[in-house]
Structure 1
Amino acid sequence: MARTGRRPGPTQTRADILAAARGQFGAHGFAGATIRAIAAEAGVNPALIHHFFGTKEQVFVAALNLPANPAVLVETILDGPREQAGERLLRLFLALWTAPEPSRAFLALVRSVSTNERAATMLREFVETAILARVAEALDVPKLRATGLAAQLIGLAMVRYVVRVEPLASATDDEVVALVAPVLQHYLTP
């Protein structure tokens, strides 16, 4: 009698799905890749992708080893008083850049998107749909303002963590929050 369920021993399925996802996202961008196409390339049922990862966004985060989950970022921005959303977002952003594992991943991501147009396209599509559009809609702010917020954060990361311009590079998180959070809050205020 045939045995049902998962085969005994180690499985390569998760790694196969991630490899297929990288291929699909690389070839078609975030917007063009589909769970069905990833499943077909990996030779699995689409339900298995949902089992391992959940949504397309979560597959993207895992496949590209992104240092932050966009759902957590959006939840952080929206969870609490609106007049403190800029500070909440900035404190989370600073924490991600100072934790060893996420900061290495962020540096690698910044370097790859600044030198590779395909990587930049994938990340742009992802950020636009998974983060900026959701924040703009939830807070009823124009997408241009949400994009301005992203530009502020990316500029901060480049100056503070990549290029390391002083005195911003060595300022405390509280000093950076006092300086930048009001600007971020401006973008989030209708």
Structure 2
Amino acid sequence: MSGATPDRDPTTARRRGRPPRSEAGDTRERILAAAREEFSERGYEKTSVRGIAKAAGVDSALVHHYFGTKEQVFEAVALTLAPALNATPGVADGPLEEAGERLTRFLFGLWENPVYRAPLLAVVRSAVNNETAAAVFRRMIVTQVLSRVAGRLDAPDAELRAELAAAQLVGCAMLRYVIKMEPLASADVEQVIARLAPVVQGHLTGA
């Protein structure tokens, strides 16, 4: 029939706006990279799926297609820290009298690594004023870090000690990397570690 549209091959048909299968991985990574930047700069409350889509150069429907809700996008950003946090057993191992330095060096090593700084900023900035983000942060820190450290401490208040150590480190990281308070923000990281590690050690094993 004149003007008739040829039948489309059902194996190649796809929904409007969805990239070909060969490009799907690149599109997903581009969205994830945009989400890291948006959450790290704006925090959870001020970040939107539409904003992430615009930064990634895609339609909002694609963000929902690959990740789901904004909360699920945020969790995907937080999960990019998983490879580093899985190294925590090494931090918890070794002599207890050196645990403070190992834990301090581990945390600041993450912040100094450009691969992990953006997702860390996203998680920390968002956790300050949003319960959804805070829940992700607590789950990540408690499960991956604090429980392992506390498990090494022979003390009735082991969990409190580990949390106080974490508070010391997270607070210092906030001032240095998020608030950027001088002179801490530009101090040599080795100097910061050398001064902070004994304090962390005191929380873990002190009287």
TM-score normalized by the length of structure 1: 0.63
What is the alpha-carbon distance in structure 2 between the residues aligned to residue 178 and residue 126 of structure 1?
A: 26
Matching of residues 161-176 of structure 1 within 5 Å:
161-176=177-192
Give the count of matched residue pairs.
Answer: 146
Superposed CA RMSD in Å reads 3.1
1:71 to 62, 71, 86: 86
**Runs of 4+ that moved beyond 3 A:** 9-13, 18-26
* Alignment-mate amino acid for residue 109 of structure 2: A
Match of 1:35 in 2: none
What is the alpha-carbon distance in structure 2 between the residues aligned to residue 161 and residue 187 of structure 1?
A: 23
- Say whether residues 1:19 and 2:56 are aligned partners: no
Measured after TM superposition, the shift of residue 23 of structure 1 is 6.4
1:130 to 144, 160, 175: 144
Percent identical among aligned pairs is: 41
Distance change in 2, residues 1:22/1:12 (3 Å): farther
Measured after TM superposition, the shift of residue 12 of structure 1 is 7.1
Match of 1:159 in 2: 175
Distance change in 2, residues 1:128/1:21 (3 Å): farther
What is the alpha-carbon distance in structure 2 between the residues aligned to residue 146 and residue 105 of structure 1?
A: 23
Contact 2:97 2:201 in 1 (8 A): yes
Q: Deviations 1:74-95 (Å, cap 9, x if unpaired)?
A: x232232221111112112112
Tell me, which stretches of 5 or more residues in structure 1 are unaligned? 1-8, 27-59
Tell me, which stretches of 5 or more residues in structure 2 are unaligned? 1-20, 29-63
Contact 1:97 1:103 in 2 (8 A): yes
Measured after TM superposition, the shift of residue 125 of structure 1 is 2.9
What is the alpha-carbon distance in structure 2 between the residues aligned to residue 63 and residue 164 of structure 1?
A: 22
- Say whether residues 1:147 and 2:163 are aligned partners: yes
What is the alpha-carbon distance in structure 2 between the residues aligned to residue 140 and residue 12 of structure 1?
A: 50
* Alignment-mate amino acid for residue 70 of structure 1: L
* Alignment-mate amino acid for residue 165 of structure 2: L
What is the alpha-carbon distance in structure 2 between the residues aligned to residue 66 and residue 166 of structure 1?
A: 29
